[in-house]
Each structure stands twice: as C-alpha cells, then as structure tokens.
Amino acid sequence: MSDKLYENEYFYIEKENAIIPWVKIFSKRPYKELSDCDPETQAAMLKAMLIVEETMRFYYNPKKINIAMFGNYVPHLHIHVMARFEEDSHFPESMWGVKQREAHLHLPSFENFVTILQSKLAL
C-alpha cells in the first residue's frame, strides 16, 4: 500500500504507523494553519475530517475518536484522526502521553477501512 491512502486537489491522507487506527490529513499546499487556507481548502479538509471520523466510528466502534492539530514539529497543516479504545496502549491518555499498558487489539482490517473511506471521500 502506498503512503497516501487518498488524494485530491486539496488534501491527501496518510496512515500513521500505530497500533490504533490513525490517519493524518495534510493540505496539498504547505499551509501552516487552517486559517491560512483558502475557503475551498478549509471546507475540503474539514469535510474529510468528518468523513474519516464517521467512517472510523462505523467501522471500528471505538470508545472515542481523538482529533488533533499540532504541527509543532511538522509546520505543514495536518489533522490527526484516531480511533481510541479502552484497551489501547495509552487510553485514557493521549497517544503522545504516558503508555498505560501493553495493548493487543483485535481490530477489523485496516485495508478494508481504507477501501470504505476511499469510496466515501470520492462522493
């Protein structure tokens, strides 16, 4: 599977290497902040974020969805969307926080999630 899970004229989506379902939505142009974007890019990024969230909720049935926009190390606008589970390694802490336990999650296929996500984003 390529690094990019989906791409259009406004953004692209990459998988984060993590034990939980976690993707990052990057603006195509190197904007620093969401408020720097033109209105079309803002709308496309926010719509993509909601589609990812809804698809993760439906497909994985997580305890919670976490959404973050930091960009302190990578000053290119991107949105993290993560499906969180009570038994994941860091819950209830953030994935950048203190590890709470070893996790052995048994989740549905990420590849199937991507196929569903791509079909929803293409609409």
pLDDT in tens, 6-30: 999 999 999 999 999 999 999 999 9
Domain spans in the chain, listed from the N-terminal domain onward: 4-118
User: In CATH, which of 3.40.190.10, 3.40.50.300, 3.90.550.10, 3.30.428.10 is domain 4-118?
Assistant: 3.30.428.10
> pLDDT digits over 74-91, tens only?
889 999 999 999 999 999
pTM: 0.94
Amino acid letter at 31?
A: Y
